[in-house]
Amino acid sequence: MSRHVYLDHNASTPIHPEVVAEMLPYFSEIFGNPSSIHAFGREARDGVDRARERVARFLRVSPQEIVFTSGGTESDNFAVKGLAAARGKGHLITSKVEHHAVLRTCQALEAQGFDVAYVGVDEHGMVNPDDVRRAIRPDTIAISIMHANSEVGTIQPIAAIGRIAREHGIPLHVDAVQTLGKVPLDLDAFGVDVLSFSGHKIYGPKGVAALWIRKGTRMVAIQHGGEHERRRRAGTENVPGIVGLGKAVEVRARDMHAEAERVTALRDRLIDGVCARVPEVRLSGHPTQRLPGTASFLVRHVESESIVLGLDLKGIGVSAGSACTAGNIEPSHVLVAMGVPLDWAMGAVRCSLGRSTTAEDIDYVIECVEPLVRKLRQAMPVGAA
């Protein structure tokens, strides 16, 4: 068995060769501290500055508005805590389907005395902008809604939510880790004030990410130390990582449109193939407002983890939407918020495609899924769960 098919791009992506090439000198020859004023330092600083300009050009913003961080998780923490701390107290609005980096940050803020409203979603995982409007209170200080959900791929109506935030003068943070470089992003049209994105979801390195903070947005730093990043995020810069992130964004700008089209066609081939071949399977997430490469399935009366492990034996990497802990099946918070019944949620499996995915990969996965699900259902008769 030598075939390997990676369909877990929403978890992480392989670094693009052009990105690796750009990073390499920064591990060896160009090693100075960007804060040093000598030539060694200046060379490293130039790499960081160029990366900042590349990211800013892509987003059509000013380079001074970009802050580099250690990952999407830090960007989300910084955004939510930074907006909250700048206001001291009050009420925040988020959704029930956010990444844990936002959800658990909000829970931590609740423990500190902030109030948080967790807006629900419909059966497709979509937030209703009117629910956001209804959740607004006189003391609402920030709204944080993700652009696209990593599990089911649903793209949220950010422009409508942004308009509501603007009308009320409330800053809007958007976790765009799953969308930057995959679908168009217009910060002004969307009415966004703070945007998170991460390197390793877009063929860049792990452990590096950024936050865009619209000029004039009141935010306080959550990490203190030196004067780095205009005193917004202390710590010696991850120079090779930042250089890689800048290059990854530049490559996305060049490739994203053609790739989105190609990946969407493959995704639909997978959806059609699986739904035609496997009985009692459904697509989860929004039927049309979804990420180009994400296909999440609900396979009734089968355990997610059994499918993931069964496909792993065939060299296929996908991810589970439900976990089996101490004999209990626990669907992800996203599926719970969508109200997916347990007999369907127990078999949630996410396939996320990327730039190296081929039609042969998709056909191979379809070939493998059908007999696997049949076998698993025979081993675990309906209702036994």
If one asks whether residue 141 binds ligand PLP (CB under 6 A), the answer comes out as no
Closest among 98, 147, 96, 93 to 122, alpha carbons compared: 96
The size of the interface with ligand PLP (CB under 6 A), counted in residues, is 15
* Sole binder of ligand PLP in the list 67, 117, 165, 177 (CB under 6 A): 177
Question: To the nearest whole angstrom, how small is the minimum distance from the Cβ of residue 175 to ligand PLP?
Answer: 5
Three-state secondary structure call for residue 230: helix
User: 292 or 310, CB closer to ligand PLP?
Assistant: 292
Check: CB of residue 140 under 8 Å from CB of residue 129.
no
Could you report how far apart the first and last alpha carbons of the chain are, in Å? Answer: 31
If one asks whether residue 292 binds ligand PLP (CB under 6 A), the answer comes out as no
Q: How far is 367 from 49, CA to CA, in rounded Å? A: 48
Q: How far is 366 from 46, CA to CA, in rounded Å? A: 48
Binding track, positions 6-45, relative to ligand PLP; x by CB under 6 A = ----------------------------------------
Question: To the nearest whole angstrom, how small is the minimum distance from the Cβ of residue 177 to ligand PLP?
Answer: 4
Site for ligand PLP in 89-108 (CB under 6 A): 99, 101
Closest residue by beta carbon to ligand PLP: 72
User: 198 or 306, CB closer to ligand PLP?
Assistant: 198
Question: To the nearest whole angstrom, how small is the minimum distance from the Cβ of residue 105 to ligand PLP?
Answer: 11
The neighbour count for residue 278, using CB atoms within 10 Å, is 20
If one asks whether residue 365 binds ligand PLP (CB under 6 A), the answer comes out as no
Tokens coding 105: 């940050």
For the annotated catalytic residues, the residue numbers are 324
If one asks whether residue 150 binds ligand PLP (CB under 6 A), the answer comes out as yes
- Residue for token pair 């969407």: 264
If one asks whether residue 294 binds ligand PLP (CB under 6 A), the answer comes out as no
Check: CB of residue 3 under 8 Å from CB of residue 361.
no
Question: To the nearest whole angstrom, how small is the minimum distance from the Cβ of residue 315 to ligand PLP?
Answer: 24
Binding track, positions 183-222, relative to ligand PLP; x by CB under 6 A = ---------------x-xx-------x-------------
If one asks whether residue 332 binds ligand PLP (CB under 6 A), the answer comes out as no
- Distant-in-sequence, close-in-space partners of 302: CB < 8 Å, separation ≥ 6: 346, 347, 373, 376, 377, 380
Question: To the nearest whole angstrom, how small is the minimum distance from the Cβ of residue 140 to ligand PLP?
Answer: 22
Check: CB of residue 157 under 8 Å from CB of residue 132.
no
User: 98 or 193, CB closer to ligand PLP?
Assistant: 98
* Sole binder of ligand PLP in the list 8, 175, 229, 303 (CB under 6 A): 175
Q: How far is 363 from 210, CA to CA, in rounded Å? A: 37
DSSP 144: E
Give alpha helix (H) positions in the chain. 17-23, 39-59, 72-87, 100-111, 129-135, 158-167, 187-190, 228-231, 239-277, 304-312, 333-337, 342-345, 359-379
User: 43 or 237, CB closer to ligand PLP?
Assistant: 237
Give the phi and the psi of residue 40 in degrees, each rounded to 5: -60, -45
* Sole binder of ligand PLP in the list 5, 6, 7, 73 (CB under 6 A): 73
Q: Residue numbers of the site for ligand PLP (CB under 6 A)?
A: 71-73, 76, 99, 101, 146, 150, 175, 177-178, 198, 200-201, 209
